[in-house]
Amino acid sequence: MDEKCLLIRGGTVWTADRRNPRAEAVLVRGERILAVGSSAEVQNHECARGAQTLDLAGETVIPGMTDAHLHLLYYSKQRAGVSLFETKSLAEALQALRDAAAGTRPGDWIHGVRYNDAYWAENRAPTRHDLDAAGIDRPILLTRVCTHVQVANSAALAASGIPEDQWGDGILLETEVAPVLKAMEAWRSETGRTLGMIEEACRDFAGFGVTEIQTCSASGYGLADDLAPFQRLRLERRLPVRVVLYEDRMPQWNVMSGLGDDWIRYGGFKLFLDGSLGGRTAALGAPYADDPSTCGLLNHEEGALMATVKEAHKRGLQMLIHAIGDRALDQAIRAVEAAYAEGPCPCGLPHRINHVMICRPDQLEALKKLGVVLDVQPAFVPSEISMATARLGEERIPWSYPWKSFVDSGLVVTGSSDCPVEPPSPWRGVWGAVCRVGDDGKPEEGWQPHQKLTLDEALELWTVNGAVAVGEGGRRGRIAPGYLADLAILDRDIFKADPMDLREVKARLTLAGGYVTHGELPGWPAF
Ligand SMILES: [Zn+2]
For 206-238, write each residue's pLDDT tens digit.
999 999 999 998 776 656 778 999 999 999 999
Which span out of 77-91, 103-117, 360-374 was modeled with the highest average pLDDT?
360-374
Residue 393 pLDDT exceeds 50: yes
Question: Exposure of 289 by Cβ count < 10 A (0-12 exposed, 13-18 middle, 19+ buried)?
Answer: middle
166-169 contact pairs (CB < 8 A, 24+): 167/128, 168/128, 169/127, 169/128, 169/129
On average, the pLDDT of the chain sits at: 95
CA of 107 to the centre of ligand 1 (A): 33
pLDDT, residue 220, reads 65
Percent of the chain with pLDDT over 70: 99
Smallest CA-to-CA distance from 399 within 363, 423, 427 is with: 363
CA distances from 490 to 4, 223, 395, 511 (A): 23, 32, 40, 11
Q: Does residue 265 fall inside a structural domain?
A: yes
Q: Does residue 518 fall inside a structural domain?
A: no
Confidence of residue 175 (pLDDT cuts 50, 70, 90): confident
CA of 429 to the centre of ligand 1 (A): 15
Single-letter amino acid code for the residue at 431: W
CA of 116 to the centre of ligand 1 (A): 21
Q: Look up the CATH number of the domain holding residue 292.
A: 3.20.20.140
CA of 377 to the centre of ligand 1 (A): 10
pLDDT, residue 1, reads 47
CA of 44 to the centre of ligand 1 (A): 46
Q: What is the ipTM of this complex?
A: 0.96
CA of 275 to the centre of ligand 1 (A): 10
pLDDT, residue 3, reads 79
Residue 382 pLDDT exceeds 50: yes
CA of 375 to the centre of ligand 1 (A): 10
Confidence of residue 161 (pLDDT cuts 50, 70, 90): very high
CA of 421 to the centre of ligand 1 (A): 7
Among the residue ranges 162-176, 217-231, 354-368, 441-455, the one predicted with the least confidence is 217-231
Q: Does residue 496 fall inside a structural domain?
A: no
CA of 132 to the centre of ligand 1 (A): 34
DSSP 16: S
Q: Does residue 353 fall inside a structural domain?
A: yes
Span 445-454, average pLDDT:
97
Q: Give residue 442's domain range.
A: 195-475
CA of 271 to the centre of ligand 1 (A): 11
pLDDT, residue 223, reads 65
Q: Does residue 68 fall inside a structural domain?
A: no
Span 29-57, average pLDDT:
95
The answer to whether the beta carbons of residues 403 and 416 sit under 8 Å apart is: no
Helix (H) or strand (E) run with residue 311 in it: helix 302-314
CA of 473 to the centre of ligand 1 (A): 23
Number of compact structural domains in the chain:
1
CA of 231 to the centre of ligand 1 (A): 22
CA of 204 to the centre of ligand 1 (A): 18
Residue 265 pLDDT exceeds 50: yes
Q: Does residue 270 fall inside a structural domain?
A: yes
CA of 218 to the centre of ligand 1 (A): 8
Residue 402 pLDDT exceeds 80: yes
CA of 349 to the centre of ligand 1 (A): 20
CA of 70 to the centre of ligand 1 (A): 5
Smallest CA-to-CA distance from 430 within 415, 443, 419, 442 is with: 415
Q: Does residue 489 fall inside a structural domain?
A: no
Residue 101 pLDDT exceeds 90: yes
Confidence of residue 279 (pLDDT cuts 50, 70, 90): confident
The answer to whether the beta carbons of residues 489 and 519 sit under 8 Å apart is: yes
pLDDT, residue 44, reads 94
pLDDT in tens, 128-148: 999 999 999 999 999 988 777
pLDDT, residue 118, reads 85
Span 234-258, average pLDDT:
95
Distance, in Å, from the CA atom of 217 to the CA atom of 498, rounded to the nearest integer, reads 37
CA of 272 to the centre of ligand 1 (A): 10
The answer to whether the beta carbons of residues 70 and 422 sit under 8 Å apart is: no
pLDDT in tens, 498-517: 999 999 999 999 999 999 99
CA angle 229, 101, 196 (to 5 degrees): 15
Q: Which phi-psi region, left, alpha or beta, contains residue 379 (left: φ > 0; alpha: ψ -120 to 50)?
A: alpha
